[in-house]
Amino acid sequence: MLNTKVKIGLMQVLLVVCCSATAHQHEGKIKAIAKADRGIVEIAQGWIKTRSTNQQLTADYVKAHMAESGIINGGRYVGFGFVFDPENEGRMVVARIVDESPASKVLEAGDEFVEVNGVEVNQENMDKLSFRGKPGEQVQTVLIRDGKKMSVSIARGIISNVYGKTILLDEIASANPDNWGVDELTIHESVRKDNVVYVWSEFKAVENSSKLPFESHQVTRFVFDDHHQVNRVDQLQEDRFMLEQQGFQISR
């Protein structure tokens, strides 16, 4: 039998061993959490970097890091609510229509705009037409549907352009690779809180049609799921949206 002093000594040793093991386990969890934290910040930064450099890298990155149920908040704006196919050079053919937008009530995929408010559509003026401006105003258009010309009047509305992974990948694939990327990218700051990461970035580039240089600051908000997949992306930039609500048309 062990005397009282020996028993106490053994208990103290066991207590030290247990505390040491618990401390190591706790330290291991902290390191694992810290690694995960760094992981989602790095994924968010990588998202910005790849989108600023290469079309194929961007598609591969989205496939690898975006959840299948993830969504993109493309930002609000005033307009019709459609996306045209950039591959049809010199022509404006509707490729996608935003759900619950003014366009969803009157347009169909494949419609081709030939005239907007009396202005004929061509390669030089596609970014200067009257699709965007003050909400509620009617815009008179002429389009071709199934080979026939038709006149359509559409009132501008506020568009919430939210879409999923499949549409994002389709839009990346249909973009012109020659117009992809920026000349200079700077990531100023990344802030994480729980499963949300904010990235403040700045980029400099040359606008394709005017060939004029420009620079822009942008804050992007990423929400991650429990598997460190991107579940939501928000572009926090509404300066153009603010001007359009006051009736201004933004053009060169």
For residue 19, name the pLDDT band (cuts at 50, 70, 90). Answer: very low
Average pLDDT over residues 85-105: 88
Per-residue pLDDT of 145-184, as tens digits, reads 999 999 999 999 999 889 999 999 998 998 888 878 889 9
Residues 95 and 127 both lie in one domain: yes
Predicted local distance difference test score (pLDDT) of residue 5: 52
Phi, psi of 244 (to 5 degrees): -65, -35
For residue 13, name the pLDDT band (cuts at 50, 70, 90). Answer: very low
Containing structural domain, residue 229: 35-74+163-245
Per-residue pLDDT of 62-72, as tens digits, reads 999 999 999 99
Total structural domains in the chain?
A: 2
Per-residue pLDDT of 23-51, as tens digits, reads 445 454 434 444 445 699 999 999 999 99
Predicted local distance difference test score (pLDDT) of residue 26: 44
Identify whether 62 is part of a domain. yes
Residues 69 and 83 both lie in one domain: no
Predicted local distance difference test score (pLDDT) of residue 129: 87
Residues 185 and 237 both lie in one domain: yes
Last residue of a domain, one of 137, 158, 179: 158
Residues 171 and 123 both lie in one domain: no
Identify whether 11 is part of a domain. no
Q: Look at residue 133 and tell me whether its pLDDT is greater than 80.
A: yes
CATH number where 105 lies: 2.30.42.10
> Which residue is listed with tokens 């598997």?
227
Percent of all residues in the chain with a pLDDT value above 90, rounded to a whole number:
53
- Average confidence score pLDDT of the chain: 84
Last residue of a domain, one of 158, 185, 205: 158
Identify whether 3 is part of a domain. no
Residues 122 and 148 both lie in one domain: yes
Identify whether 222 is part of a domain. yes
Number of helices and strands (H, E) in the chain?
5, 12
Contacting residues for 242 by C-beta, under 8 A, at least 6 apart:
none
Short-list 250, 77, 47, CA closest to 168: 47
Cα distance between residue 95 and residue 127, in whole Å = 16
Q: What is the pTM of this model?
A: 0.72
For residue 231, name the pLDDT band (cuts at 50, 70, 90). Answer: very high
Residues 49 and 117 both lie in one domain: no
Identify whether 133 is part of a domain. yes
Instruction: Kindly calculate the radius of gyration of the chain based on its CA atoms and give it in whole angstroms.
Output: 27
Identify whether 185 is part of a domain. yes
Residues 191 and 66 both lie in one domain: yes
Phi, psi of 170 (to 5 degrees): -65, -40
Residues 196 and 238 both lie in one domain: yes
Q: Look at residue 118 and tell me whether its pLDDT is greater than 60.
A: yes
Identify whether 229 is part of a domain. yes
Short-list 172, 137, 175, 174, CA closest to 154: 137
Last residue of a domain, one of 140, 158, 176: 158
Short-list 238, 189, 163, 167, CA closest to 44: 189
Residues 192 and 237 both lie in one domain: yes
- Residues paired with 119 in a beta bridge: 116
Identify whether 126 is part of a domain. yes
Predicted local distance difference test score (pLDDT) of residue 214: 82
Q: Look at residue 216 and tell me whether its pLDDT is greater than 70.
A: yes
CATH number where 185 lies: 3.10.450.50
